[in-house]
Amino acid sequence: MSNFKIPSLMIYLLPLLVVMFVYFRSRGKKESAALELLKENQEAGLTEASSLHPFIDPTKCLGAGSCVSACPEEAIGMINGKAKFIDPTVCIGHGACAAACPHGAITLVFGSEKRGMDIPQVDPNFETNIPGIFIAGELGGMGLIRKAASQGTQAMASIAKLKGSSNQYDVVIVGAGPAGLSSTLGAIEKKLRYVTLEQEVSLGGAIFQYPRNKIAMTAPVKLPIIGDVKMGEISKEELLEFWHKVIQKTGIKLNLNERMETITRTDKGFIVKTTKQTYETRAVLLAIGRRGTPRKLEVPGEDLPKVVYRMIDPEQYRDMHVLVVGGGDSALEAAIAIAEQPGTTVTLSYRSEAFGRGKQKNRDRLQALQDKGRIKVMLKSKVKRIERDSVVLDYEKQDVDLPNNGIIVCAGGILPTPFLKEIGVMVETKFGTA
């Protein structure tokens, strides 16, 4: 009888053992991949999130893994049976991880113990300590598209309640991302006199800067005039197409390629000075991103149309001589993407003697393309002068003249925090707190 029971027991146990083996093997591979990505980001110094992000309490985490499944950006991984925030730079702060955690181990915070994050103080109506100046969207720490759009709508509802004045405009909206566009719709709906400014040549804010076909995670949102918009997981191009249709349908007017320079208080409201003109307004809504204004080279010829500050579409540089300036991931990735296009000649200029930052995989890909002669790297160089068909670099104390059809400057941006403080907006530095 016993000889019969043992084989029977094995028949039932064997499938279970196989399932367990496959499960633990798969989990081991995922944990190894997560650990590798974490180490890579730590070595590259990419350990800080740019907006609202999760803090995972290891004493409360029991390894359920629900947060990993809930994170579409794959910013969280499992390491040694615990959830870890492994890829901070891709987190957009939607909080799905915190909602999915069954043990309350995740809280959403700004900044970290090592690096603070400046967040402007606003009241529930999104008005700052300066009456008449409002902030919505990414500048206030909310990079999520749906919430940024909702904040823009709510802020405009508050602006519409302000007492009227003899100013030229009721509101000047700065920024044409989700918060700026939704607030503009609100201004139209409430029949306010408005002007919407955007420093870039196209709408979309940070979305416009995404690489081609990047998934712009969003969710259903209610927009003024348009109503309920049901969005799921859509690409950058699809989202921009949606906004273009909204503009055509509603007649939104945008002042593109016009950058705000100063805001001055008056007895009636504010004077907003831009690179093109001056506006008198009752209120100002700042719907600008945290990336700020691109840092320029400050050299002759930089105002030529061929000079841009972000690489949008590498295909546009086919069969061209291109110079990329910078030493971070954005510069390396731009140079790599363009070098992979047919007929391109790519030069990467960086002022330091080595790439001290950036992901190792980007540096490895750069080295491989450099070995193949697809990219020329010029360390310890800087742009001296830009001509219509060429560019002059200061390289090893000599002028080097290169044929050139396009220049991409990836030198970072001038953050808006000093500007906010200059006009009197109170800013609080968050060190890993909500």
Q: Is residue 245 part of a domain?
A: yes
Angle in degrees, 0-180, between the axes of helices 236-250 and 178-189, rounded to the nearest 10: 20
Domain boundary among 109, 136, 163: 109
What CATH number did the domain enclosing 268 receive?
Answer: 3.50.50.60
CA–CA separation, 195 and 187 (whole Å): 9
Write down the pLDDT at residue 246.
Answer: 87
- Is residue 154 located within the same domain as residue 211? yes
Our CA dihedral for 349, 352, 353, 359, rounded to 10 degrees, sits at -80
Condensed to tens digits (0 to 9), the pLDDT of residues 277-300 reads: 999 999 999 998 776 677 889 999
The answer on 288 and 146 residing in a single domain is yes
Q: Are 240 and 210 in contact (CB under 8 A)?
A: no
Confirm whether 302 is domain-assigned.
Answer: no
Tell me what the mean pLDDT of segment 107-114 comes to. Answer: 84
pLDDT score recorded for residue 210: 54
Distance CA 88, CA 51 (A): 9
Structural domain of 420: 118-292+416-430
- Residues 276, 199, single domain; the answer is yes
pLDDT digits (tens, 9 = 90+) for 30-79: 888 888 888 887 776 777 777 788 999 999 999 888 998 888 778 898 88
Residues 192 and 65 in one domain: no
Distance CA 137, CA 349 (A): 34
Domain identity same for 373 and 421: no
Query: Domain check: are 316 and 377 in the same one?
Result: yes
- CA dihedral for 169, 172, 176, 179, sign (positive or negative): negative
Q: Please check whether residues 267 and 151 belong to one and the same domain.
A: yes
What 3-state DSSP class applies to 306?
A: coil
- What's residue 141's pLDDT? 72
Confidence (pTM): 0.72
Residues in the chain, how many? 434
Instruction: Report CA dihedral (143, 146, 149, 151) to the nearest 10 degrees.
Output: -80
Reported as type and span, the H/E element at residue 240 is: helix 236-250
Distance of CA 225 to the CA centre of its chain: 27
**Domain identity same for 177 and 224:** yes
Across the range 341-346, mean pLDDT stands at 93
Q: Into how many domains does the chain fold?
A: 3
Lowest mean pLDDT among 170-179, 266-275, 309-318, 332-341: 309-318
* 100 SS3 class: helix
When pLDDT is cut at 50, 70 and 90, the band that residue 147 belongs to is confident
Q: Which residues pair with 198 in a beta bridge?
A: 256
Burial class (CB in 10 A: 0-12, 13-18, 19+), 398: exposed
Same-domain pairing of 381 and 426? no
